[in-house]
Copies of this chain bind each other. A is one copy, B any other.
Amino acid sequence: MKTGKSNSNAVAKSAPKIKDVARVAGVSVATVSRTLSKPNTVAEGTRNAVLAAAKETGYRVNLAARNLRRQRAGAVVVLVPNLGNPFFSHILAGIESTLANDDLSVLVVDTQQSKLKSEFFYEYLHIGRADGIISLDGSLSSEKLNTNDGSNSRLPIVFACEWSQFDDCPSVRVNNRRGAGQAIQHLAELGHKHIGFLNGPEGNVLSVARKEGALRGFQTYGLNVVPEWFFEGDFSMDAGVHAANNWLGLSERPTAIFCANDESALGLISTLHQNGVEVPRDVSVIGFDDLEVSEHFIPPLTTISQPRMELGIAAAKLLTQQMEDPFAGDLPKEVLPVELVIRKSTAKLPS
């Protein structure tokens, strides 16, 4: 069967190409290509011969060649606001596992670091490296991402978790407003009348949504909105530390605090504890996100749980749908449910 070159222990044989497979199988390159991509268009006998030849030669497609010809990249860029933040890792895991099924690679970019050299950043997206974008960073509008320079290449974009308020890309998020509402409801039902709120950074879509939800909750339960009890933060533990210090300095203190995310709640509790204030004895605290560590914190944190892995999975699916059919038009804004997880950081107000 073999022609010419021995296939055994030659010196430094270079990677087998489709041509080699064709030669071994005794067919044309077109047939090999077809066998591999549309198997049912070739006769069974031929197919088997090609498959055998491919196995024998150890053939692997060359992606650069395929992508060049197919005019695609076979990859998706995921824009992460801050790779160092553990919150995103599960989402990333969900994205990765889902896209792997479609033979799509996942390119990860930390927007915090790349934004500085922003020209390069935008350029990065438009040199055929990726066929689509998943952004976990709501501060990037799809307009900015796609039309920075009048370039014609428009990539499908899906937002996950965060989203851009200025355009209506498909997105996957949780019901932040309702989650925040549930948090307030929980505190209200425990008898708290004086509730504070530690928010994320101003302008962030999540901050806005969660604040709205919280305010609606205040209204529903007839709670007073006391401006001194609304702390500005940035979702970091340090924000919790600051809020705790503010709380300590108040003459009149809320008996419960809703934090817009778990991290800041943990920082808050930690600092309160260091100052002799115990949660939930002296003040109840509820968070948002349900990080792994929240369950094991002291006290275990009551919080609003987001299905992070599912967010990633849903975003990836939405993106692949859009990639398959760019004219699909209005793709949904999926809103996943949140869940109140009651642990030990909230307690009944002693009357």
Q: Footprint of B on A, CB under 8 Å?
A: 12-15, 58, 60-65, 67-68, 73-75, 82-86, 88-90, 92-93, 96-97, 100, 105-110, 113-114, 123, 126-129, 149-153, 237, 240-241, 266-267, 269-271, 273, 292-293, 295-298, 300, 309
Q: How far is the CA of A14 from the CA of B110 in the complex (A)?
A: 29
Question: Assuming A62-B127, A63-B73, A65-B68, what are 9 further A-B pairs, CB within 8 angstroms?
Answer: A60-B151, A62-B128, A64-B128, A82-B93, A83-B96, A93-B113, A97-B110, A106-B109, A237-B292
Q: How far is the CA of A83 from the CA of B312 in the complex (A)?
A: 12
Residue of B68, B126, B151, B296 near A68 (CB, 8 A) is: B68
Q: How far is the CA of A150 from the CA of B9 in the complex (A)?
A: 10
- Give the Cβ gap from A312 to chain B, nearest Cβ, in Å: 10
Do A270 and B292 have beta carbons less than 8 Å apart?
no
Residue of B63, B88, B96, B97 near A128 (CB, 8 A) is: B63
Residue of B58, B109, B153 near A96 (CB, 8 A) is: B109
Do B73 and A64 have beta carbons less than 8 Å apart?
yes
Chain B residues within an 8 Å CB radius of A93: 82-84, 110, 113
